[in-house]
Amino acid sequence: MDMKVNKKLGLKERYNLMTRDLAWTPTYQAVKDVFPYTEYEGIKIHDWDKFEDPFRMTMDAYWKYQAEKERKLYAIMDAFTQNNGHLGVSDARYINTLKLFLTGVSPLEYMAHRGFAHVGRQLAGAGPRVACLMQSLDEIRHAQTQIHSLSNYNKHYNGFNNWRHQHDRVWYLSVPKSFFDDAISAGPFEYMIAIGFAFEYVLTNLLFVPFISGAAYNGDMGAMAFGFSAQSDESRHMTLGLEIIKFILEQDPDNLPIVQRWIDKWFWRGYRVLTLVAMMMDYMLPKRVMSWKEAWEIYAEENGGALFADLARYGIKVPKGWAQACADKEHLSHQAWNVFYNYGAAAPFHTWAPSEKDMEWLSQKYPDTFDKYYRPLWEHYAAEQKEGKRFYNTTLPMLCQTCQIPMFFTEHGDPSKVAYRESTYHGMKYHTCSDGCKEIFDNEPEKYVQSWLPVHQIYQGNCFTPEANPGAPDFNPLAEVLKWYRMEMGRDNLDFEGSQDQKNFAAWRAQASGN
């Protein structure tokens, strides 16, 4: 007798059977009670089955490929550690980019894990729920792989050991932290547009490619390996973001204005967080990959351009701040690095003025702006430093109420003028750095009046350890804030020149190549 063998199901059918087809609509409780957050944002979904899962990995495939990635990654990390790979980086200045990454980015991976776990519970459609829960797993994987990978540097260099404590307290870290707090306190649909789409699709390449390529160019195999390993998960995340926005827009035309407002808000908020990447690329990498301007042109203008051309058929327009972000590519990195140079005493990583060679590169990459606006500044600083007068700004800056960054941004069209925007809410003034941040404030003032602005909190006396005594005659508030930050003065902060990191790296490298 012939055995009848049915044709094997295709990938899509197999995947559906193992995921969305396992779900059912609750009947013992009202759907509204089981999914209490699905309607309050005003988004209308009529048919969740229309969501198309772009990556169709059932659990067996997921574990198989994730396990393979982990094996490869940890093998590289072991080899890197065993080989004293840290001594193979181009220059010890490079290591400060990793401090920036660990303090600023790794905590966001953890929060993304929480955010996607929440949304994976709250969305009423089975398809997106599964994709969100896979992403939640991926994100905690990223947090852990980054901690593992960077722990190797922590053994040898300063500024790594209090990243978790510092993320909640240090002035520049309230920028990424508040970004994610804003997203996770929004509803599930806004969260998906904010993180899934705006951050993980539109802007992700601007965060990860510079850091990972920076690692590759500067001999950091450890970071490069975790970067690439994370990025392969990111492709799934990107496609979830793109698919969810398509799905929402196709469900009901009433969703369009809501989604557009979120795109405008989250493009701008994400772009502001990327300020840190711009300065990293242009000023902190000894061997530079490309300029921020070039990265913006490829990943935002070209790539983002293609994306928004694609979404135009739904009525989506390019985000409101787009033109300004494009114009600012000439200025952002230089202005941002000046902030960290100014406040170099207050960050747990080193800063420095660019060398003459660095400035040649900057001149070449920014022919219209570097020599005119920024070279004189760096030359001045270098001259001062030579005379033992390295400049540190000791007065606290004004911060933007929305993005929480010091108000260094200049007017669109006039890079000599700081941009000031002002709003009044319930009788009190609030200040923002740009039209984008002002609009975000004005649309949801109840949210942003709650901003925990580091400068204001310091003045309120909330940034001291319990042992601090503000009444004491020799009370030094800035020193006390650093104690509260768990930053060691003279070791974790200040200029790279003369730092322990610099001395150690040089000594160890000499040992590794001599007797």
Closest CB to another protein among 309 and 489?
309
In order, the DSSP letters of 136-199 are: HHHHHHHHHHHHHHHHHHHTTSSS-TTHHHHHTTSGGGHHHHHHHHHHHTS-HHHHIIIIIIII
Which of the residues 383 through 412 are near another protein (CB under 8 A)?
Answer: 391, 393-399, 406-408, 410
Spatial contact of 193 and 259, defined as CB atoms under 8 Å apart: yes
Which residue of 35, 361, 373, 508 would you call a contact of another protein, by CB under 8 A?
373
Which residue of 455, 464, 500, 508 would you call a contact of another protein, by CB under 8 A?
455
Distance of closest approach, residue 69 Cβ to another protein, in angstroms = 6
Is residue 469 within the footprint of another protein (CB under 8 A)?
no
Report the Cα 37 to chain-centroid distance in Å: 27
Spatial contact of 336 and 479, defined as CB atoms under 8 Å apart: no
What are 54's two structure tokens? 């772009």
Is residue 239 within the footprint of another protein (CB under 8 A)?
yes
Distance of closest approach, residue 120 Cβ to another protein, in angstroms = 18
Which residue of 26, 257, 315, 376 would you call a contact of another protein, by CB under 8 A?
376
In order, the DSSP letters of 324-372 are: HHHHHTTTHHHHHHHHHHHTTTSSSS-B----HHHHHHHHHH-TTTIII
Residue 429 is inside which H or E element, if any? strand 428-432
Which residue of 97, 136, 152, 204 would you call a contact of another protein, by CB under 8 A?
204
Which of the residues 126 through 185 are near another protein (CB under 8 A)?
Answer: none
Distance of closest approach, residue 506 Cβ to another protein, in angstroms = 25
Per DSSP, what are the bridge partners of residue 421? 432
Is residue 361 within the footprint of another protein (CB under 8 A)?
no
Is residue 428 within the footprint of another protein (CB under 8 A)?
yes
Is residue 477 within the footprint of another protein (CB under 8 A)?
no
Distance of closest approach, residue 319 Cβ to another protein, in angstroms = 17
Is residue 374 within the footprint of another protein (CB under 8 A)?
yes
Is residue 418 within the footprint of another protein (CB under 8 A)?
yes
Which of the residues 48 through 67 are near another protein (CB under 8 A)?
Answer: 54-57, 61, 65
d(CA 275, CA 280): 9
Which residue of 69, 114, 118, 156 would you call a contact of another protein, by CB under 8 A?
69
Which of the residues 299 through 328 are near another protein (CB under 8 A)?
Answer: 302-303, 305-307, 309-310, 312-313
d(CA 198, CA 201): 6
Closest CB to another protein among 361 and 420?
420
Closest CB to another protein among 460 and 515?
460
Which of the residues 18 through 47 are near another protein (CB under 8 A)?
Answer: 36-37, 40-42
What are 235's two structure tokens? 């492709």
Which residue of 234, 264, 480, 495 would you call a contact of another protein, by CB under 8 A?
234
Which residue of 459, 465, 491, 497 would you call a contact of another protein, by CB under 8 A?
459
Which residue of 197, 228, 267, 485 would you call a contact of another protein, by CB under 8 A?
228
Which residue of 77, 112, 170, 224 would you call a contact of another protein, by CB under 8 A?
224
Nearest to 58 by CA among 23, 20, 24: 20
What are 347's two structure tokens? 């960050």
Is residue 498 within the footprint of another protein (CB under 8 A)?
no
Q: Which stretch binds another protein (CB under 8 A): 96-104, 171-179, 371-379, 500-508?
A: 371-379
Report the Cα 90 to chain-centroid distance in Å: 24
Is residue 503 within the footprint of another protein (CB under 8 A)?
no
Which residue of 74, 217, 361, 508 would you call a contact of another protein, by CB under 8 A?
217
Which of the residues 265 through 304 are near another protein (CB under 8 A)?
Answer: 302-303
Spatial contact of 412 and 328, defined as CB atoms under 8 Å apart: yes
CB atoms closer than 10 angstroms to residue 393: 15
d(CA 114, CA 199): 16
Spatial contact of 48 and 127, defined as CB atoms under 8 Å apart: yes
Residue 103 is inside which H or E element, if any? helix 95-104
What are 417's two structure tokens? 């003028």
